[in-house]
């Protein structure tokens, strides 16, 4: 039996807005990984002493590193916001036999994000 199989186009992900957002969200993982590497380099520089830390700060201040970090930050925001928006679909939490509404699960995620950020800010800035 000869059947026809529709070929998948290289730019299939441009056909729909939802596909584009999905591909951007997948791509955002690369920038998350970049931030992890950046953080490890920072910690390593601090561990090596004041001179090493200053070299790292100078390197971080270059225009292209700042540009990468700005783009990375936007992708991390996209990653976080879309991830939180999807969380209620994966988490079915029941309290007294009733399912916690989706807004409640999303709000809890944002609250945890805010509290953790505040703790990190306190540790860094105190």
Partner 1 sequence: MADEITLEVARYRPGVDAEPVMQQYQVPLREHWAILDGLTYIKDQLDGTLSFRWSCRMGICGSCGMTVNGEPQLSCATFLTDYAPGPIRVEPLRNFPVIRDLVVDIDDFMTKLPTVKPWVIRDVDEPVEAGEYLQTPEELDDYKQFSMCLNCMLCYSACPVYSLDQDFIGPAAIALAQRYNLDSRDEGAEERRAVLTSPEGIWACTFVGECSAACPKGVDPAGAIQRYKLTAATQSIKELLMPRIKR
Which residues are at the interface with partner 1 (CB under 8 A)? 1-6, 8, 12-13, 15-16, 18-19, 22, 26, 86, 89-92, 97
User: Considering beta carbons, is residue 65 or 102 the nearer one to partner 1?
Assistant: 102
Q: How far is the CB of 56 from partner 1 (least distance, A)?
A: 35
Pairing of strands 98-99, 94-95: antiparallel
Cα dihedral 117, 119, 124, 126 sign = positive
User: Considering beta carbons, is residue 59 or 83 the nearer one to partner 1?
Assistant: 83
Rounded CA-CA distance 43/37 in Å is 10
Do 45 and 55 touch, CB atoms closer than 8 A? yes
Q: How far is the CB of 47 from partner 1 (least distance, A)?
A: 30
Q: How far is the CB of 30 from partner 1 (least distance, A)?
A: 14
């Amino acid at each position: 039996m000869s059947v026809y199989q529709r070929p998948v186009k290289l730019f299939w992900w441009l056909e729909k807005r939802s596909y584009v957002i999905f591909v951007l969200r997948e791509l955002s993982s690369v920038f998350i990984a970049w931030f992890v590497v950046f953080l490890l380099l920072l910690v390593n520089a601090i561990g090596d002493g004041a001179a090493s830390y200053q070299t790292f700060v100078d390197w971080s201040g270059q225009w292209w590193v700042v540009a990468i970090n700005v783009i990375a930050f936007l992708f991390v925001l996209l990653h976080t916001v879309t991830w939180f928006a999807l969380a209620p679909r994966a988490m079915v939490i029941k309290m007294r036999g009733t399912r916690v509404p989706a807004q409640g699960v999303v709000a809890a995620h944002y609250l945890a994000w805010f509290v953790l950020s505040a703790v990190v800010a306190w540790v860094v800035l105190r």
